[in-house]
Amino acid sequence: MKTAILISGRGSNMQALVNAASAPRFPARVSLVISNNSDALGLKWAGEEGINTKLIDHRDYSNRSAFENELDQSLVDAGVELICLAGFMRLLTLEFVSRWHNRIINVHPSLLPAYKGLNTHQRVINDGVRFTGCTVHFVRPEMDKGPIIAQAIVPVLPNDNAETLASRVLMAEHRCYPFALRLVASGKTKTVNNLVLVENALSPEVVIMNPDDKQS
C-alpha cells in the first residue's frame, strides 16, 4: 500500500515507520514524505533515505482550504493510498478528512480518549495517573478522535517528570505505530460503528503485541 507520511518536525515516528516498511514482507511502502514546515529535520532524513519529499508550507497559502487542496493534489498525483500523521502540527478540516475517510491514521501520546491535546505528560503526572501510553487511531475532524486501531501501555514511575515519561512513551509509539500500520495496510482491519475490528484477533476488539515482536 503506497503510504505518505506528513510531518512538521524531526519525524522520529516517521523514521520508525520507514524502517519497518523497509522489510521485504511489510504490506506498506513509504513513497512520499510531506512537511508544512521548511525547518523540519525529517525532510532531510527522508531524502537521504531515497524517499520522495515535498514542502508545502501552510504559510504560503491564503487560507486552510487552499493549503489542503495543494496537499490533496500532491497525494493524489503520487498515487498515495494511506496517510500517516507523524507529528504533523496542523488540524485537518472536515472536507479533507472526508476525502480520505479511513485512510488517515495518527499516533497520540496518551491512552485515548483520555488526555487529548497538548502537554499530555505533565497533565498525566499532575493527575497522579499510574499508567499512560499511546494510541494509533483513524483520524476524524475532531482533534485526537477516531476509531482506535492499537494502544500501548506505559507505567508512570514515581520519579517521572514530563521529559522522562515522554521519552518512554515515544519508545512505545515507535513500536505501536508500525504495528498498527501493518494491520491497516494488510487489510486486516475494518471499522464498524466507530469500532476497529481486527481479523483473527483474540476477540473482535483485542490485539496483543508481544513485547519481543520485531517489525519485520
pLDDT in tens, 105-137: 999 999 999 999 999 999 999 999 999 999 999
Crossing angle between the packed helical segments 41-48 and 12-21, to the nearest 10 degrees: 20
How is residue 60 annotated by DSSP?
G
Number of alpha carbons in the 13 Å side-chain half-sphere of residue 163 = 0
* Model confidence band, residue 208 (pLDDT cutoffs 50, 70, 90): low
121 classed as catalytic: no
CA–CA dist 50, 29 (Å, integer): 12
What are the structural domain ranges in the chain?
2-198
- Ramachandran angles phi, psi of 187, nearest 5°: 75, 20
The mean pLDDT of the chain is 92
CATH architecture of 2-198: 3-Layer(aba) Sandwich (3.40)
| pLDDT for 199 | 85
Query: Which residue among the candidates 58, 108, 137, 174 is catalytic per the annotation?
Result: 108
